Amino acid sequence: MKKISFLFLAIGFGFLSMPSAHAQLDNNQSDFDEFMDRSGNRYRSASGKPGPDYFQNEADYDIKVSLDPETHTVTGQLTMTYTNNSPENLEYIWMYLEQNRFTENSRGTLTTPVEGNRYNGDPLDGVKITNLQAKVKGSTSSKHLITDTRMQVFFNKPLKAKGGTAEVSMNFEFEVPVNGMDRMGRLSTENGEIYAMAQWFPQVAVFDDIEGWNIEPYLGAGEFYYDYGDFDVEITVPHNYVVVGSGELQNPKDVMSSTLYDRYKKALESQETVTLISSEEIGESKMFANQSGTQTWNYEIENARDFAFAASKAFIWDGAQFNLPSGETGLAHSVYPIESDGQDAWSRSTEYSKASIEYYSEKWYEYPYSSAVNVAADIGGMEYPALNFCSWKSKGGRLWGVTDHEFGHNWFPMIVGSNERRYAWMDEGFNTFINYYSTQAFNDGEYPTRLNQPRSLTGWFLGEGREGIDTYPDMANLRNLGMIAYYKPALGLLMLREYILGEERFDYAFRSYIETWAFKHPQPQDFFNHMENAAGENLSWYFNAWFYGTGNIDLAIDSLTEKDGAYFLTVSNKGEIPMPMHMQITFEDGSTEMKSLPVEIWQRGDTWTHKFETEKSIKSIELDPEKILMDVNFSNDKWPLDIYED
């Protein structure tokens, strides 16, 4: 009976009519399969949101630091309050001492090519740490172990999970390098030295649910990954130095003369740029509260992942009010030497800064800080919360571009706190993408943008030396870094918005991603999951091929035939990446119509024939008429081929 029952079941479901084991059907299912483990857990959900047990620790800093221009030395005292929100007790923490990159035998120095590159650093003595104390529940430990750019700080008692706090304090001292890997350092100008201070204080590493302690050394191309916290920083300098820093100045009356303070207040309320210190007033004691000695500038910023500052007696200083959608306002301001002055150069920096902050706040997510400062330095472009370093040589469109790019970093990774040391594309690429739209908007397109010119990049996409977006920046060939960290991921988002999903679906999902992960630590899978869920589209076929591969797009229109009053269009996918087919049909009467075929046509194979009927005669068909796709072979994008034009 059992055998008979099985026989009837087999016949009923058609099993006996299945092809033999030797007759296999070819398909492209592997192109559409999931490509990484994106299943949810208690920490991160499959919908791309933090899970019910998601955690991140907090580090709040109180720092007092002095800058001595005679010896170019920084001396500081740091007290950090560390809150352990993780589910684990911690016997120690890891901290970064990134000034140790500037030694002869640091890992970063020893892995820099002998011919040098952008990430050269002066071989100095690194940072000196003294009087370290780590306190947990009244028990104090001074035990610590320094390894290259990292320091392990041990507790006498474990720091309790889910809310335990520790206080870690120490003194630190180092010499400021001239050449600081294009991220910090000092620049000599006609009126004095400019100090650009970044990676300047001991800072705790991130402990998360993915890696535990994230302790990759500071080598060069890989940037940073920090937790969020509050900063209260006092910076003591000679009396005629201007100091700007991340966040809001707390004591303007203590450091400014009445004249400078009146201008400062005016700038806080002005839509036009107000001069605070002019080129004729550079370094003059009358502009400051003290006429000799030193004075201390106090800056505070809340819920930030880093703090940077700049100091100089050579600064011109100007500012204006920026306006946020909520009605809040803040100060956009700029400091630069006389060598950078001029309406074709840094005199427009504050205008650029204000426009950038206001655009991104309106388009994506409101800027969270009350200040935004652009600093001219001997640095190509580098970002920190509420503060940029940009090249003092930049002018015109180049100054707009670098200013806008570095302020865009306040959204990625200052607000959306991804791991820059591993996933440069999640901040550089996302930022390059939003820069494209802000540049289009600024003064109705005063400056050009090239992200919408993918054909100009065909050479790189066909080059044998290309690498994948997922390559860690410290491992990437520096000749590829601009493409794999900046342009290719930005192009990927551009195609996703304007070709695959459409603006409405993409913008909702992207804004939702920013809001969901604001001041948190998303991983790549969180971004992929969130975009799929919020946009309502399975995009594994795209995310895998574009972000985790080196294949290319090459869609083709093969033929168009007419039979029995109907047209038969045959298309093919000659590349490695499946994509929808968006085509413009031009009829003999001059009218046009868009025709789209979904990406699923490529699931069963690499060619597809579509039948459609029309009473009009077709003159030509063109794939992607707006040229959004990074299609490496555009010679097969039209029918008939003889109408193709470069």
Distance CA 76, CA 7 (A): 84
Question: Is residue 575 one of the residues assigned to a domain?
Answer: yes
User: What whole-number percentage of the chain has pLDDT above 70?
Assistant: 95
Q: Mean pLDDT throughout 2-9?
A: 38
Number of domains in the chain: 2
pTM value > 0.85: yes
Whether 131 maps to a domain, the answer reads: yes
Count of beta carbons in the 10 Å neighbourhood of residue 564: 6
- Examine the pLDDT at 590 and tell me if it is beyond 50: yes
Indicate the burial class of 590 (C-beta count within 10 angstroms; 0-12, 13-18, 19 or more): exposed
Q: Is residue 118 a contact partner of residue 172, using CB atoms and an 8 Å limit?
A: no
**Residue-level pLDDT at 116:** 82
**What's the token pair of residue 102?**
């500037």
Q: What residues contact 373, with CB distance under 8 A and at least 6 apart?
A: 244, 245, 310, 332, 333, 334, 335, 353, 386, 387, 388
Separation CA 579–CA 249 (nearest Å): 51
Give me the phi and psi of 606, to 5 degrees please: -100, 5
Peptide bond preceding 177 in cis form (omega within 30 of 0): no
Q: Which residue carries 């003290």 as its tokens?
A: 290
Strand partners, 75: 66, 173
Contact 34, 532 (CB under 8 A): no
| Side-chain half-sphere CA neighbours of 353 within 13 A | 31
Quick count: other Cβ atoms within 10 Å of Cβ 256? 23
Helix/strand/coil for 544: helix
The residue range of the domain holding 624 is 555-639
What local confidence, expressed as pLDDT, does residue 93 receive?
98
Question: Rounded CA gap, 591 and 294, in Å?
Answer: 75
Instruction: State residue 229's pLDDT score.
Output: 98
Q: Mapping DSSP to helix (H, G, I), strand (E, B) and coil, where does residue 122 land? A: coil
Tokens read off for 302: 């809340």
Angle of helix 349-363 relative to helix 396-408, nearest 10 degrees, comes to 40
pLDDT score of 25: 55
Q: Is residue 429 part of a domain?
A: no
Mean pLDDT in residue range 116-122: 87
Single-letter amino acid code for the residue at 36? M
Cβ 6 vs Cβ 13: under 8 Å: no
Quick one: pLDDT band at residue 642, thresholds 50, 70, 90?
Answer: low
The answer to whether residue 116 sits within a structural domain is yes
Which of the 8 DSSP states describes residue 186? E
Residue 187 lies in a domain: yes
Quick one: average pLDDT of 371-377?
98
Residue range 495-519: average pLDDT?
A: 98
Can you give the CATH number for the domain in which 65 is found?
2.60.40
DSSP single-letter state for residue 380: S
CA-based max dimension of the chain: 107
CA 573 from chain centre, in angstroms, equals 32
pLDDT at 18 over 80: no
Residue 350 above 90 pLDDT? yes
Phi, psi of 185 (to 5 degrees): 140, -160
Contact, 416 vs 524, CB < 8 A? no
Instruction: Convert the pLDDT of each residue in 155-186 to its tens digit.
Output: 999 999 999 999 999 999 999 999 999 999 99
Sheet containing 192-197, strands listed edge to edge, beginning at the edge strand earlier in sequence: 179-180, 184-189, 192-197, 309-312, 242-245
- Give the domain-ending residue among 180, 201, 227: 227
Phi, psi of 485 (to 5 degrees): -95, -30
Q: Nearest 5°: phi and psi at 225? A: -150, 110
What would the pLDDT profile of 189-204 be if each residue is shown by its tens digit?
Answer: 999 999 999 999 999 9
- Asked whether the beta carbons of 215 and 114 are under 8 A apart, the reply is no
Residue type, 571: V
Q: What does the pLDDT look like over 79-114, one tens digit per residue?
A: 999 999 999 999 999 999 999 999 999 999 999 888
Nearest to 301 by CA among 151, 519, 31: 519
Q: Is the pLDDT of residue 67 over 70?
A: yes
Q: Please identify, among 207, 227, 247, the residue that sits at the C-terminal boundary of a domain.
A: 227
Helices (DSSP H) in 336-387: which residue ranges? 349-363
The DSSP code sequence of 250-312 is S-HHHHB-HHHHHHHHHHTT-SS-EEEE-GGGTT-GGGBS-SSSEEEEEEEEEEES---EEEE
Q: What CA–CA distance (Å, rounded) separates 47 from 528?
A: 9
Average pLDDT over residues 285-304: 98
User: Last residue of a domain, which of 173, 197, 227?
Assistant: 227
Res 10: pLDDT: 39
Q: Residue 643: what pLDDT?
A: 53
Q: How confident is the model at residue 641 (pLDDT cuts 50, 70, 90)?
A: confident
Residue 48 in this model has a pLDDT that exceeds 60:
yes
Helix (H) or strand (E) holding 512: helix 503-516
Distance CA 181, CA 199 (A): 11
Question: Average pLDDT of 45-57?
Answer: 98
Confirm if 373 and 334 have CB atoms less than 8 A apart.
yes
pLDDT, position 11: 35
Mean pLDDT (the chain, rounded):
94
DSSP state letter for 296: E
pLDDT, position 356? 98
pLDDT digits (tens, 9 = 90+) for 597-628: 999 999 999 999 999 889 999 999 999 999 99
Please indicate, yes or no, if residue 106 is contained in any of the structural domains. Answer: yes
Q: Is the pLDDT of residue 646 over 90?
A: no
Calpha distance 49→227 (Å, rounded): 18
Whether residue 351 is contained in a domain is answered as no
Residues facing residue 237 across a β-bridge: 295
pLDDT score, position 15 = 39
Decide if 644 is inside a domain. no
Q: What is the CA radius of gyration of the chain?
A: 29
